[in-house]
Amino acid sequence: MARLYRAVFACVGWFAVALQYGVTLADNPDSSAGELTLNFFSYFTILSNILVALALTAPVVAPNSRPGRWFAGEGVRAAMAMYIVVVGVVYHFLLAPTWNPQGLALLGNSLLHYVMPAAFVLDWLLFAPKGRLNWGDPAKWLIFPLVYGGWTLIHGALSGWWPYPFVDVGALGLGRVLLNFVGLLVFFLIVGLTVVAIDRTFGRRDRRRVPA
């Protein structure tokens, strides 16, 4: 059941990323494909969805390989659940009111921001081993958002392009953007701690079910 579920949503995830990339190129015919590609892969949404697609794909196609075992690890899957939940929540409350995609853009957007977050969280709830996470784990999971934040500031300073309005240094100033980053990191940490709390609750439940 887990392999079938993951196979289906791995296909959905890769389709969503490919569709959104195609829409990006089609909507900007006068822009450089190289520049568009670099910017496309500078969205946290895209990077997180690629990680989720890999986490769904690797245990299906190569479960005994090193990537397959790594992506199947409970800590890795919990971290990715944290990332993709933040993607969905931040989009819904901060970004969705600011634009109105249509057609294929709407389809890709919905898959990336709603379908895949829900699908991966459900995968984690149903199929990941529980009871093995520690309260300190969410702090380690912040490495990816921290690296992404550093890349965003460097890339934006060099190109003048910013992936999200709340990290636009040109419009908001560096101090405000850094405060926004801190706020997002706190939100990541809250989501991560919630993931650990759910994991430990389910772990205690499962241990009580084990016959003596």
pLDDT, one tens digit per residue, over 10-54 is 999 999 999 999 999 999 998 999 999 999 999 999 999 999 999
Whether 145 has a pLDDT exceeding 90, the answer reads yes
Whether 212 has a pLDDT exceeding 50, the answer reads no
Query: How many residues are recorded in the chain?
Result: 212
Distance CA 96, CA 98 (A): 5
Distance CA 6, CA 147 (A): 28
**In 3D, which of 189, 167, 188 has the Cα closest to residue 178?**
167
Confidence category of residue 80, pLDDT binned at 50, 70, 90 = very high
Mean pLDDT taken over the chain: 94
Model-level pTM?
A: 0.94
Mean pLDDT of 99-123: 96
- Provide the pLDDT for residue 99: 87
Query: Per the structure block, which two tokens stand in for 198?
Result: 């759910």
Please, what sign has the CA dihedral across residues 140, 125, 107, 190?
negative
% of residues, the chain, pLDDT over 90: 91
